[in-house]
Amino acid sequence: MTLFKRIAWRLLAGVGVLWCTVTLAFVAFHLIGDDPVVTILGGEDAQPSKEMIALVRKEYGLDRPLSVQYAQYLWRAVHGDLGQSYRLHIPVARAISQQLMPTLSLMFSATLVSVFLAVALALLTAKRAPWIRSFSSGVELVISSAPAFVLGTLLLLAFSFQLNWLPSFGTSGWETIVLPTLALALPIVAVLTQVLRQELEDILELPFIVTARARGLSETRVRLGHALRHALIPLLTLSGFIFASLLGGAVIVETLFSRQGIGRLMVEATGNKDVPMVLGITELSALIYVVVNLIVDLLYAVVDPRVKGAV
Amino acid sequence: MSTLSKENVYLADVPVLVSPDGVVDQFETERASRLGQYLRTLRPGLVLAGLFVFLLSIAAIEPAWFISGDPLDANAREAFAPPSSGHLLGTDEIGRDVLTRVIYGSRSSLLMGLGATAIGLGFGIALGLTAGLGPPVIDGLLMRFVDVLLAFPDLLLALVVITFFGQGTVNAILAVGIASVPRYARLVRAQTHLVRGTAYVEAAKTLGIRSSALIWHHVLPNAIKPVLILATIGIGGKIASGASLSFLGFGTLPPAPEWGAMLAVGRDYLENAWWLTAVPGIAITLTVLSVTALGRELLRRSEGKSI
Amino acid sequence: MSTIVLKKDSQKLIGPEVACSRSPQLPPPLIEVENLSVRFGHRDRPVIGGISFTLRRGECLALVGESGSGKSVTSRTLVGLAGPRAEVTANRLRLDGEDLLSIREAAWRKIRGRRIGFVMQDALGSLDPLRTVGREVAEPLLIHGALNRAQREAKVIELLRSVGIPEPELRALQYPHQLSGGLRQRALIASAIACGPELLIADEPTTALDAAVQAQVLLLLESLRNANTAMLIISHDLAVVSRLADRVAVMHQGLIVEQGPIDEVLQNPQHVYTQSLLAAASYVHGGNRRWAPTTMNEVLSNKDEFVINADNVTKTFPNPDGKSRTVVERVSFVLRRKETLGIVGESGSGKTTLMRMILGLEKPDAGAVYLRGNSWTSLSSAAQRSERRRIQVIFQDPFSSFDPRYTVEHVIGEALGVIGISGRKERRQQTIELLRWVRLDASILPRRPIELSGGQRQRVAIARALAPRPEVLVCDEPVSALDVSVQAQILELLEDLKERLGLSCLFISHDLDIVHRISDRVMVMKDGVVVESGDVREIFARPRHEYTRLLLDAIPGLPAKTSRWSAQDSHAESTATKLEQSEGVLEVQL
């Protein structure tokens, strides 16, 4: 019952986030930046005529009062209509849906790889000999300091151009996703491993671990049976960070590896001042964020019996 | 960038608990080994990081002290020269010296790191304090707003800012700075609330001290200090973000020497000129690494002594 | 009544060994420790510096000492869990004749949980919060036993019942956070005795528990000992030890300074440290009052001198689930001039919220507090500010009550600034004077709180509270975070200052002994309501309310001969019997 209530609240909050995002997008669209009509007609340089401007303004509904426009904007957003791309001259929603799958599969594979690697590394290195610790935390620090595009370039240099193992660009075939996944996952692994190891080390000091040892449990059993589940909690707490790294990283990685996807769409839209496209992708990212948060919230209740009820 | 968000989680959610025993122990061991501790902190890695940041700062102020060449000096005949005694780190596609360009590139990187952090911190502190100290209604509204902004990756926010304000060095700094405002605002607010609820603020309150004095003497210094320390770690992340923007073509534009932009150009020549990407890549990584390492050390020390 | 049940069950549990309990000849020792040393890393001083003791079946040895004396390390060493950095050396370390020094980790694992049960200090943290209680209790059976799943489940229920947990089937499916502190401690003991160990080690088994629950857990341990299990009890509390142990070993700085039968050590302590420990305990837990108590008549004669007057104060907090929870309900009391009023109650009784309202940190939802007859809680915060100096507070944890950036001089200077002492020289002079009152040297002026010991911090906190010349001193568990010997000094200091400065005092504590010691009148709170109040001697001698009686009976005091509250209290003699009776009542309440 309380769990149900909590989910209801979270859903409501999620709707709030989406509503705020759409509103902000609307405000940004109308109040900041250039006159959208001029942009649609190719910018100031194109020197559009007054008649043309009036025509476009009417066509896009930009001549109506702001409140009406806002209501229309909201109404359309609810129905998945995010407007017309300036540059591609197709609906933003269609452009996005065409590019969504490659990005989602990249994000998904990177999530799997990073969580698996981070948990494994943390379990293996927590509370071990000092040199193992300092070595792995040194490597983690270096990797987490390298921006995704540096890491990706170095991976390209090594695996595509020196060793010729994997293709350097493209979206088709499983080989093309290996390097982008690594470039996306490694920085996340570096940060997650640090946090998880710290958490594990704290947990391995706790009384219930000593108690478990005093019952005669082996080290493996202590780590897998007791400590692992506790270490999953910070993993969930960091889901926001993971999500942000994945999406932000996708922008870079897709550009670097010339992959199709939302990230590259975003870069192109930014370069061309394609405002509806940029805002559309932003709204999409809010939607993904809300969904991910909801899932994480449910997972919390699964992992930690204490959170049932209390928020 | 990443480190900050991690710390954010911890600082916001975990109150600092100190058992009476633990503190006494800490005090005793601290006194006994103060010298030892000082010596131990001079680990070689940290010394190198400090030295690197020091040299970087000098290079940013006056790159000509390190190298005599001109970063824009092209010489088509020497294009794609691999590292040699003449060009220690080789030359690029139109024959410019890579070493010179990397050294000159430190200025825009440091500018990006400091400028963006200052912008993010300035607005973040203002927003966070308004929320943390203001009436609950304002607090609620501001924080909902910040929560919404936090839903977006920093890079995405930066790209949105660039879409509206245009490209270029200054706008890139602005974009990275603005994108980090929500995070700092949340951190400052959390700290403010944490400090406001501490026993020492309550103790001062029972003395009858004015709330303005209370905020000025107790809340502000204790709330902002950890934020400043985290911000130093954040400088590294800002440098990386700025380079990312330049790599995408939205920051400092070629032919100006900028590490991210250099790497973007070098990406097209990966097959025949590895140094065009490797050199700026390593420069960025080392810079971020050193700044982060120094910032963490600062954090470690401040946590060990007081907070 | 329930005690009998307990004993029966635990005997069944231990099995046939019970038959040979306490034969006339001494059986061979179960545990032999000779010259055991433990050091960590390359520190020059070992944490344990060569201790020796033996322990037989059915015998209980108590290790007593203050925090940091090495008692917990000793107990961990006995199960091979002193830690990876620990260097353990001994002439002899044997379990039932088997040498423990040379065995490997795998052999240790066969001993842990099966032959030695270990109950950790922190009952709240010693059960995995993400697992059900049943799974935790079953774990040693899973590892060591040959039982199948169904047998294990049955055994868990049996174990839970044997340690006196009501509704064991339900409890086994619950998580630790759903259980009360007492039940958690019992569950922990159940898991430690699951495999019928020959030795049970219990590290501070009752420390984190409320007084009433403490008594129950002690009773449970007692029944186990009677069932021929050898028992090693670690405690800082002589009172706990005196009930359970046959022999006691007093530890100080890693050494056993005195060892012997419990009665001998308590009545005739040889070592100076033991003597000081006993003296401190009897100061805190009883002893003679140093200043003459204000009698009821004296108090009544100047009844117009009410310093604080609380009138039907009520405070409600919203729960996360939307309902509201009344934490303090219609509480009324008066505090007279120069009087000490003790407020007693267990955690969650609402005494802290009441204190915060008196301090003006929280506004009551209904009712009001008056300060010297004038309104206080109903004042605007601006009007309140100028009066705040009249009521000063000493918190339980002095460390967190100081701004970490401030030096001692700064801390007290700030408080002096409130009454307009602003000149630098004058401030310093007065600060030094205040420090002298609390018996601190001026040399600590430039120190920060982190550089002070627990006792020093509390003294500085007292000095700060006295600086603005208050009329009322509110003490919130002022000594419960301190070591026993320091506790005594701080209490003495408080009594002395209170008398010299003519302060009125509200003394909030869960420790009845201390309240009895220091208060004139006492007020007992439970679930936000005052259940009983009146003259302290009268209430302690003749408690009228059931709950007060329970609280009083539950105190694990030293044996009557080493003096409880006072010899002439007819009450003291019957304490022991009442303790048994109260057990039944509590069981019903659970």
Whether A64 maps to a domain, the answer reads yes
Task: Tell me the pTM.
Answer: 0.73
Are A259 and A167 contained in the same domain?
yes
Q: Are strands C340-344 and C521-526 parallel, antiparallel or unpaired?
A: parallel
Burial B73-89 (b: 16+ CB within 10 A, else e): eeeeebeebeeeeebeb
What CA–CA distance (Å, rounded) separates C279 from C315? 41
Place of tokens 């839970």: C160
Shared domain for A127 and A264, answered yes or no, is: yes
Contact criterion met (CB below 8 Å) for C165 and C183? yes
DSSP C81: -
What mean pLDDT do residues C264-277 have?
80
Closest CA to C114 of C204, C205, C194, C173: C194
Residues of C within 8 A of B208 (CB-CB) are: 385-389, 418, 468
Nearest beta carbon to residue C389 from set B208, B221, B306: B208
Has residue A53 been placed in a domain? Answer: yes
CA gap B46, B295 in Å, rounded:
10
Confidence check: pLDDT of C527 > 90: no
C149, two tokens: 């799943």
User: What does the alpha-carbon distance between residue B245 and residue A6 come to, in Å, rounded to a whole number?
Assistant: 39
Cα distances (angstroms) measured from residue C571 to each of B107, C576, C582: 83, 10, 15
Chains that touch C (3 or more CB pairs under 8 A): A, B
pLDDT band at B83 (very low <50, low <70, confident <90, very high): confident
**Between B67 and C327, whose confidence is greater?**
C327
- Residue B205: both structure tokens together: 């309150």
- Residue C128 has phi, psi (to 5 degrees) of -60, 115
Q: Do the Cβ atoms of B90 and B83 come closer than 8 Å?
A: yes
Q: In which residue are the tokens 């100081």 written?
A: C402
User: From the CA atom positions of chain A, what is the Rg in Å?
Assistant: 24
Statement to judge: residues A247 and A103 lie in one domain: yes
Average pLDDT over every residue of C531-554: 82
Higher pLDDT, residue A3 or C343: C343
* Distance of alpha carbon B179 from alpha carbon A286, whole angstroms: 15
Q: Please give the distance of CA C258 from its chain centroid, rounded to a whole number.
A: 24
Note whether A32 and A149 are same-domain residues: no
Q: How many CB pairs under 8 A join A and C?
A: 78
Q: How far apart are CA B10 and CA B17, in angstroms?
A: 13
Q: What is the CATH number of the domain that holds A148?
A: 1.10.3720.10
Distance of CA B193 to the CA centre of its chain: 24
For residue A165, what are the CA distances in angstroms to A153, A170, A175, A188, B276?
A: 15, 14, 9, 24, 22
Half-sphere exposure of C183 (CA within 13 A, CB side): 22
For residue B3, pLDDT beyond 60: no
pLDDT at C342: 92
- How far apart are the C-alpha atoms of B243 and B249, rounded to whole Å? 10
Contact of B161 with B175, CB cutoff 8 Å = yes
pLDDT tens, position by position, C568-586: 333 333 333 333 333 333 3
Residue type, B52: F
| Neighbouring C-beta atoms of residue A218, cutoff 10 Å | 14
Collapsed DSSP state (helix, strand, coil) of residue C521:
strand
Q: Tens of pLDDT along B176-224?
A: 999 999 989 999 999 998 898 888 898 888 888 888 888 888 998 888 8
Residue C453 tokens, joined: 């010991």
Kindly state whether B289 is in contact with chain A, defined as any CB-CB distance less than 8 angstroms.
yes
Domain count of chain A?
Answer: 2
Return d(Cα B201, Cα C100) in angstroms, integer: 53
Return the number of other C-beta atoms located less than 10 Å from residue A41's C-beta.
18
- A23 Cβ under 8 Å from any chain B Cβ: no
C587: pLDDT confidence band, cut at 50, 70 and 90? very low
- Under CATH, which number does the domain C296-558 receive? 3.40.50.300
Minimum CA–CA partner of C461 in chain B = B203
How crowded is residue A294: how many other Cβ atoms within 10 Å of its Cβ? 15
Does residue C83 belong to the interface with chain A, where contact is any CB pair within 8 Å? no
A59 & A205 share domain: no
CA neighbor of A300 nearest in space, from A226, A203, A223, A235: A235
- A29: distance to nearest CA of chain B, Å? 9
Q: Which chains touch A (3 or more CB pairs under 8 A)?
A: B, C
Q: Say how far apart CA C377 and CA A76 lie, in whole Å.
A: 55
What is the band of A136 on the pLDDT scale with cuts at 50, 70, 90? confident
Nearest residue in chain B measured CA to CA from C392: B206
Sheet harboring C60-64: ordered strands across?
C116-119, C199-203, C230-235, C60-64, C247-252, C255-261
| Strand order across the C472-476 sheet | C391-394, C472-476, C504-509, C340-344, C521-526, C529-535
Residues of C with Cβ-Cβ distance to B222 under 8 angstroms: 403-405
pLDDT at C575: 38
Across the interface, do A191 and B236 touch by the CB < 8 Å criterion?
no
Chain A residue numbers with beta carbons less than 8 Å from the beta carbon of B53 are none
Residues A72 and A103 grouped into a single domain: no
Locate the domains of chain C by residue range.
Answer: 296-558
Decide if A157 and B277 are in contact by the 8 Å CB cutoff: yes
Please provide the average confidence, as pLDDT, over all residues in chain C. 79
Over residues A198-204, the mean pLDDT reads 87
Beta carbons of A210 and C76 less than 8 Å apart: yes
Asked if pLDDT for residue A120 goes beyond 60, the answer is yes
CA C400 to chain B, closest CA, distance in angstroms equals 6
Of A206, A218, A221, the CB nearest to C125: A206
As a whole number, mean pLDDT of residues C210-233 equals: 82
Are B148 and A279 a contacting pair at CB < 8 A?
Answer: no
SS3 state of residue C477: coil
Q: What is the pLDDT of residue C61?
A: 92
Domain boundary among A78, A106, A136: A78
C280-322 residue pLDDT tens: 665 544 433 333 333 333 334 444 578 888 888 999 887 666 6
Tally of CB atoms within 10 A around C588: 9
Query: Per the CB < 8 Å rule, is A238 touching B6?
Result: yes
Residue C446, pLDDT above cutoff 70:
yes
Q: Does residue A6 lie within any of the structural domains?
A: yes
Residue A161 shares a structural domain with residue A252: yes
The answer to whether residue A297 is domain-embedded is: no
Q: Can you give the residue range of the structural domain that contains A125?
A: 95-271
**Bridge partners (DSSP) listed for residue C523:** C343, C533
Q: Which of C361, C404, C414 sits opposite B202 (nearest CB)?
A: C361
Spatial distance between the Cα atoms of A234 and A230, rounded to a whole number of angstroms: 8
A212 touches chain C (CB under 8 A): yes
Residues A33 and A151 in one domain: no
8 A C-beta contact, residue C95 and residue C116: yes
Average pLDDT, chain B: 79
Beta-carbon contacts of C34 under 8 Å, excluding residues fewer than 6 positions away, are C52, C90, C91, C92, C93
Q: Are residues A243 and A127 both part of a single domain?
A: yes
Pick B54 or A162 by higher pLDDT: B54
- Whether residue A112 has pLDDT greater than 90: yes
Q: Is residue A18 part of a domain?
A: yes
Q: Which residue has the higher pLDDT, A261 or A165?
A: A261
Q: pLDDT tier at C528 (50, 70, 90 boundaries)?
A: confident
d(CA C234, CA C250): 10
Domain assignment present for A37 = yes
Cα torsion C3, C9, C11, C13 to 10°: value is -150
Give start and end residues of each alpha helix (H) in chain B. Answer: 2-13, 20-32, 34-41, 44-61, 98-133, 136-150, 154-165, 169-196, 199-207, 211-214, 220-248, 259-266, 275-305
Place of tokens 């065995």: C103
**CB pair distance less than 8 Å for A215 and C139:** yes
Instruction: Assess contact for C467 and C415: CB atoms under 8 A.
Output: yes
More confident residue, C468 or B93: C468
The string of pLDDT tens digits covering residues A18-65 is 888 888 888 877 766 566 676 666 666 667 777 877 887 777 777 777
Closest CB to A153 among B148, B236, B263: B263
Best-predicted range by mean pLDDT (C3-7, C99-103, C555-559): C99-103
- How far is A25 from A82, CA to CA, in rounded Å? 11
Cβ(C59)–Cβ(C161) below 8 Å: no
Does the distance separating the beta carbons of A2 and C321 come in below 8 Å? yes
Q: Is C368 helix (H, G, I), strand (E, B) or coil?
A: strand
Residue B13 has pLDDT above 70, yes or no: no
Nearest Cα residue in chain B from C482: B20
Which of A 89-118 lie inside 8 A of C, CB atoms? none
| Range with the poorest average pLDDT among A30-39, B167-176, C149-158, C518-527 | A30-39
| C-alpha to C-alpha distance for B130 and B139, rounded to whole angstroms | 7
- Asked if pLDDT for residue B169 goes beyond 90, the answer is no
Judging contacts by C-beta atoms under 8 Å, the chain C residues touching residue A232 are none
Q: Which residue has the tokens 């799997």?
A: A112
Contacts of C85 (CB under 8 A, 6+ apart): C40, C41
pLDDT tens-digit map of B228-270: 888 988 898 899 999 899 888 888 877 888 888 888 888 888 7
- On chain B, the residues whose CB falls within 8 A of the CB of C448 are 306
Residues of C in contact with B203 (CB under 8 A): 393, 395, 401-402, 461, 464
Give domain status of residue A295, yes or no: no
Whether residue A46 is found in the same domain as residue A115: no
C-chain residue closest to B305, CA distance: C450
Residues A51 and A166 in one domain: no
Query: Position A251: which residue type?
Result: V
- The answer to whether the Cβ–Cβ distance between B18 and C399 falls below 8 Å is yes
A214 in C contact zone (CB under 8 Å):
yes
For the residues A8-12, what does the mean pLDDT come to? 84
If you search the block for the tokens 């420390």, which residue do you land on?
C207
Nearest to C177 among A211, A221, A306 (CB): A306
Q: Please choose, from the candidates A187, A305, A182, the residue with its C-alpha nearest in 3D space to the C-alpha of residue A238.
A: A187
End-to-end CA distance of chain A: 13
Which residue has 């030795």 as its token pair? C199
Residues A168, A53: one domain? Answer: no
- Contact A11/A55 with Cβ under 8 angstroms? no
- Please tell me whether residue A120 adopts helix, strand or coil conformation: helix
Asked if residue A145 belongs to a domain, the reply is yes
Among candidate residues A28, A47, A78, the one where a domain is terminated: A78
What is the per-residue pLDDT across B116-130, written as a single tens digit (0 to 9) for each?
Answer: 999 999 999 999 999
Chain-chain contact of C139 with A304 (C-beta, under 8 angstroms): no
